[in-house]
Amino acid sequence: MQITSEEAGSGGRYVGRVEGMEQPAIMTFSRASASLIIIDHTEVPADMRGTGAGQALAEHAVAEARKGGWKIIPLCPFMKAQMDRHPDWNDVRKS
C-alpha cells in the first residue's frame, strides 16, 4: 500500500492506496499545535477490510510522529485500540 500525506490549514489526512482498488483508506487528523496531532477518524473501504490497511495507516501515523517529534491524541476508536495494543508506541502517545 502506498501512503501519502495531505495537509491543509490545521488538519490533514493519510491516504492509503492499493493498486486496483478504487477507494483509498483514510486516516484524518487535526493539528492541535506544532507538537501535537489528534487522530479523529479512520475509514477503510469494504473491499480493503482485512488487508491490514488500517494497521498500515496507524503505523504510518506513528512513524510520522516520531520523525516530526510530535505526540498523538488517539480520539479515533480504531487508533486508540491500536495504540492500546502497541505499548511500544507510548513514546508518541499523549497521555
What confidence tens digit (pLDDT) does each residue in 38-49 have? Answer: 999 999 999 998
**Is the predicted pLDDT of residue 21 greater than 90, yes or no?**
no
As a whole-number percent, the residues of the chain with pLDDT over 90 amount to: 86
Q: Cα–Cα distance between 73 and 30 in angstroms, integer?
A: 10
Q: How confident is the model at residue 19 (pLDDT cuts 50, 70, 90)?
A: confident
pTM: 0.94
pLDDT of res. 75: 97
Q: How confident is the model at residue 14 (pLDDT cuts 50, 70, 90)?
A: very high
Q: Which residues contact 59 (CB under 8 A, 6 or more apart)?
A: none
Q: Cα–Cα distance between 58 and 60 in angstroms, integer?
A: 5
